[in-house]
């Protein structure tokens, strides 16, 4: 289980409590249209599908990444140094930024990302709308980390 999946596992119960609080506050303020049950269920379902696909694809992506580090890396960065982890975190975030930006600009990436923007109601369940097919190309955006020698275990 990678760091992202571990965080999601621990954050999920808190997130559902926050969804419940948001729903109660919306009702209390008279915003009954803030949550439509079908839309919320769809968002939650898409989040579950995304996590299931993520579990099954993680090993494949990890293997591809590890192979690239072993055979294509320009440097051999030590995985036990704090500065490498800080560097990996910053570069990972930078790569994610470009993945997300390209997800809005490049048609094939937009096809995977658009599901995140299809909710009719903007609330916390909308954040759960994640793609299951994004893994097919998203790993390409993280190859710069492998080429720079960031060990697979150092990836957040």
The larger pLDDT score, comparing residue 109 to residue 8, is at 109
Angle at 140 between CA 145 and CA 129, to 5 degrees: 110
Closest CA to 2 of 148, 147, 135, 149: 135
pTM of the full structure: 0.80
In the chain, the number of structural domains is 1
CA separation (Å) from 59 to 1, 2, 53, 98, 135?
9, 10, 11, 23, 12
* Rounded Cα gap, residues 118 and 154, in angstroms: 34
Phi-psi region of 149 (alpha: psi -120 to 50; beta: other; left: phi over 0): left
Q: What is the pLDDT of residue 1?
A: 59
Closest CA to 100 of 141, 129, 132, 133: 141
Average pLDDT value for residue range 103-117: 94
pLDDT at 10 over 80: yes
List of residues 6+ apart from 43 with CB closer than 8 A? 119, 125, 126, 128, 129
Q: Which residues constitute the domain of residue 66?
A: 3-154
| pLDDT tens column, 48-107 | 898 889 888 888 898 999 999 999 999 999 999 999 999 999 999 999 999 999 999 999
Q: What is the pLDDT of residue 111?
A: 94
Q: What is the pLDDT of residue 110?
A: 96
């Amino acid at each position: 289980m990678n760091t992202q999946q571990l965080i999601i596992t621990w954050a999920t119960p808190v997130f559902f409590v926050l969804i419940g609080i948001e729903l109660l506050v919306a009702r209390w303020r008279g915003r009954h249209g803030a949550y439509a049950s079908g839309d919320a269920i769809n968002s939650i379902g898409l989040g579950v599908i995304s996590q299931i696909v993520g579990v099954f694809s993680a090993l494949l992506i990890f293997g591809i990444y590890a192979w690239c580090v072993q055979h294509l890396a320009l440097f051999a960065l030590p995985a036990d140094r704090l500065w490498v982890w800080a560097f990996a975190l910053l570069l990972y975030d930078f790569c994610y930024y470009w993945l997300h930006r390209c997800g809005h600009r490049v048609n094939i990436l937009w096809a995977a990302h658009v599901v995140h923007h299809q909710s009719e109601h903007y609330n916390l369940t909308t954040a759960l709308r994640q793609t299951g097919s994004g893994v097919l190309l998203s790993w390409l955006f993280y190859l710069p980390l492998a080429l720079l020698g960031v060990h697979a275990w150092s990836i957040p």
